[in-house]
């Protein structure tokens, strides 16, 4: 089980990654710095520097609070801090295991994402 850390203003959001093609592609991009923007008061999103493989992924996903996902139609990362319904093209990458409350802050968040060894 691979862990990642989103560092935000000296605080950390820790995630646990799934073992699938999209998650492996995301991990290969790390470390990276990004800006997470609010989207629909439900999730934080950010563009990625490239697409992720959706090989073997279901056609969509019904995210739970804390899910780290890839929205294939737009090519972005989406981390859900509120519940949401099924979305076609959404691929789960992993889940937040601690620090989800940090992502509930309004406005954009500058983050550095790294794999934890």
Number of structural domains in the chain: 1
Q: What's the pLDDT score for residue 17?
A: 98
Task: For 1-117, list the strands marked E by DSSP.
Answer: 2-8, 11-17, 32-39, 43-47, 60-61, 67-71, 76-80, 87-88, 90-98, 109-116
CATH number for position 108: 2.40.100.20
What's the mean pLDDT when you consider all of the chain? 97
* pTM of the complete model beyond 0.95: yes
**pLDDT tens sequence across 20-36:** 999 999 999 999 999 99
């Amino acid at each position: 089980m691979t862990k990642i850390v989103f560092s935000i203003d000296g605080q950390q959001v820790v995630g646990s990654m799934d073992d699938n093609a999209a998650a492996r592609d995301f991990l290969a991009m790390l470390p990276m710095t990004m800006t997470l923007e609010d989207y629909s008061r439900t999730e934080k999103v950010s563009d990625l520097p490239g697409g992720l493989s959706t090989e073997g992924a279901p056609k969509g996903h019904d995210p739970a609070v804390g899910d780290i996902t890839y929205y294939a139609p737009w090519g972005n990362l989406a981390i859900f801090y509120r519940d949401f319904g099924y979305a076609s093209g959404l691929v789960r990458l992993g889940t937040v295991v601690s620090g989800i409350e940090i992502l509930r802050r309004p406005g954009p968040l500058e983050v550095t994402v790294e794999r934890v060894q």
